[in-house]
Homo-oligomer: A and B are copies of this chain.
Amino acid sequence: VTGTVTHTAALIALDWGTTQARAALLDAQGGVLATRAAPVGVMAVRDGHFAEALAELIGDLLPHSDGARLPLIASGMIGSRQGWREAPYLPCPASIEQAAEQLIRVPTSRGVDLAIVPGLICEGGNGQADVMRGEETQLWGAGLPAGSLCILPGTHSKWAWIGEGERIERFATYMTGELYAVLTRHSILGRLMQLGADEDAAAFAQGVRLGLAEHANATHALFAARTAGLTGRLGGAALADFLSGMLIGIEIGSATRERRPERVTLLGEPALCARYEAALGIAGLSSGRASSNATTRGLWRIACAAGMM
């Protein structure tokens, strides 16, 4: 008999968001054996048919019936009020172990429960609370050293400060991506814009500089994306990148206004990370990138901490 390394499936990890859901079949060491994706995000599932959505997503992931009772873990909007079941927020500072203790479990039609990772809540000053769902799992999957500051760019960009033992000490959400979307599509700023043109790096940089300088005057600075067009200083194709740069500059200027970080880690979609890298460079801040499959890794780590395998 020759020695054979068999990678036995040990966990199904689900990144279950608003529009998309992704599944990964993992071995006991967290190695990825197979993946699937389906457009069965929380907003696409009608009348609570989450069990059917789960079957659609992972039905053919395991051809053999012996995998039918594998443990299941999920993070993201699936744990929101609009999801399968609400997983109450865990307050910051929050560790992997605390998240593992607070997993909530919902029965599936597979004879095993689905464990859902709680989102996090962070009580800021001024009575403002902040929340995340899914990003906590990404952060724990990225293996960030104590003292890290990690940015997860996106529709609702998150800045997270990491402490000892990968505790998420605090975090703040910036509406950068959504502001860009609603202002280009629905406000007067979009009127003079040509969207979908080639990226204009100079206009983007000009926007970043204005955003950094005027972060304390943001709702005024935004109007520059109108006047730069009206006065012919920027053409329609440049205006969208100017606004994108300005919103990212406002975000960086605001988030670093009290304390300048030494180094920042970016975690997210590569094209968007590249924009943030450029903007951080203009702000004189160095940055690096974390590995891209952080969510799967984070789910595996939480499942380990919860003794699910």
A contact set with B: CB distance below 8 Å: 81, 121, 125-131, 156, 172-176, 178-179, 182-183, 185-188, 206, 209-210, 213-224, 226-228, 230-231, 233, 247, 250-251, 254-255, 257
Contacts and interface: CB of A to CB of B under 8 A. Distances in A.
A218 B36 CA distance: 39
Contacts of A125: 213
What DSSP secondary structure best describes chain A's contact surface?
helix
Contacts of A127: 206, 210
Residue from A210, A217, A255 whose CB has the most chain B CB atoms within 10 Å: A217
A210 to B, nearest CB: 5
A182 B188 CA distance: 10
Per assembly, the copies of the chain total 2
Nearest to A172: B220
A223 B132 CA distance: 12
A47 to B, nearest CB: 19
Contact of A185 (B173, B186, B214, B233): B186
A135 to B, nearest CB: 13
Given A129-B233, A131-B227, A231-B121, A250 B218 contact: yes
A206 B226 CA distance: 31
Contact of A219 (B176, B210, B224, B257): B176
Contact of A175 (B121, B185, B219): B219
Given A254-B216, A254-B217, A231 B174 contact: no
B188 A178 contact: yes
